[in-house]
Amino acid sequence: MVNLEEMKTALIEAEQEKAVQLANQSLEEGISAHDLISKVIMPATKVIGNKYEDGEYFLSDLILAGETLEAMMKPISGKLQAEIAAGGKAMAGKVVLATVEGDIHDIGKNLVRIFLEGFGFDVVDMGVDIPPNAVIEKAIEEKADIIGLSCLMSVTRDNVEHVVKELEKRGLRQDYAVLVGGRSTTEHWAKEIGCDGWASDAPTSVDSAKSLMLQK
Partner 1 sequence: MAKMSSLERVATALQGKQPDRVPVATLAIARALWEIDANPRDVINDPKTMARAKLVANERFGDDVIVAGIDGCFVEAKAMGAKEYWARHMPIVDTRYRVIKTWEDVDDLSMPKPEEFPRMKAVMDEAAILMEKVGDHMAIATIVSGSFSTVCNLMGHEALYRAMVKEPKEVHRLLEKVTDYSIEYHLALKGKTHALGVLDPVAAVETTSPKQYEEFVKPYLAKDFEAIFKDGGMIPINHPCGSCTGILHMASVEIIPEGAPGGISANYGHVHERRSDLRYLKETVGEVTLDPDDPYSIMLAAVKKEIGGRVGIFGNIDPIGVLLEGTPEMVRAQVRRNIKYAAEGGGFILASACDTAVDTPSANYKAMVEATKEFGVYD
**Contact residues for partner 1, defined by CB under 8 A:** 53-56, 58-61, 63-64, 67, 102-104, 107, 110, 128, 153-156, 184-186, 188-189, 200-201, 204
User: CB of residue 162 vs partner 1: minimum separation in angstroms?
Assistant: 14
Q: Which is closer to partner 1, CB of 103 or CB of 145?
A: 103
Q: Collect all residues with Cβ–Cβ distance below 8 Å to 108 and sequence separation of at least 6.
A: 150, 152, 181, 182, 183, 201, 202
Q: Which is closer to partner 1, CB of 103 or CB of 125?
A: 103
User: Which residues partner with 94 through β-bridges?
Assistant: 122
User: CB of residue 152 vs partner 1: minimum separation in angstroms?
Assistant: 10
User: CB of residue 116 vs partner 1: minimum separation in angstroms?
Assistant: 18
User: CB of residue 204 vs partner 1: minimum separation in angstroms?
Assistant: 8
Q: Which is closer to partner 1, CB of 6 or CB of 56?
A: 56
Q: Which is closer to partner 1, CB of 55 or CB of 87?
A: 55
